A and B are shown apart, each in its own frame.
Chain A
Amino acid sequence: AQSVSQHNHHVILSEAASLELGCNYSYGGTVNLFWYVQYPGQHLQLLLKYFSGDPLVKGIKGFEAEFIKSKFSFNLRKPSVQWSDTAEYFCAVSMGYKYIFGTGTRLKVLA
Chain B
Amino acid sequence: GAVVSQHPSRVICKSGTSVKIECRSLDFQATTMFWYRQFPKQSLMLMATSNEGSKATYEQGVEKDKFLINHASLTLSTLTVTSAHPEDSSFYICSAGIDRVAKNIQYFGAGTRLSVL
| Chain A residues with a Cβ under 8 A of chain B | 4, 9, 30, 32, 34, 36, 42-46, 49, 51, 90, 94, 96-104
- Tell me the nearest residue of chain B to A43, going by C-beta: B110
Per a CB cutoff under 8 Å, which of B42, B43, B46, B103 touches A32? B103
CB neighbours (8 Å) of B41 from chain A are 9, 103
Secondary structure class of chain B's binding surface, majority of residues:
strand
- The reply to whether B103 and A99 contact each other, CB–CB distance below 8 Å, is no
- Contact for A98 among B49, B103, B111, CB less than 8 A: B49
Given A97-B97, A101-B43, A103-B42, are A43 and B102 also a contact pair (CB < 8 Å)?
no
Determine the distance from Cα of A45 to Cα of B111 in the docked complex, in whole angstroms.
12
* A98 and B46 contact, CB distance less than 8 A: yes
Closest residue of B by beta carbon distance from A6: B43
Measured between beta carbons, the chain A residues less than 8 angstroms from B4 are: 43
Check B105 for interface membership: any CB of A closer than 8 A: yes
- Chain A residue contacts of B44, Cβ below 8 A: 90, 99, 101
What total of chain B residues lie within 8 Å of the partner, measured CB to CB?
A: 25
- Cβ-defined contact, A96 with B108, below 8 A: no
- SS class, residues of chain A in contact with chain B: strand
Interface: B78 (CB within 8 A):
no
Name the residue on A nearest B32 (C-beta).
Answer: A97
- Measured in the bound complex, the distance between the Cα atoms of B104 and A101 in whole Å is 15
Q: Chain A nearest CB: distance from B12 CB in Å?
A: 18
Contact A32 B102 (CB under 8 A): yes
A43→B109 contact, CB < 8 A: yes
A46 smallest CB distance to B (angstroms): 7
Cα A84 to Cα B97 with chains together (Å): 28
Would B93 and A96 count as touching, CB distance under 8 A? no
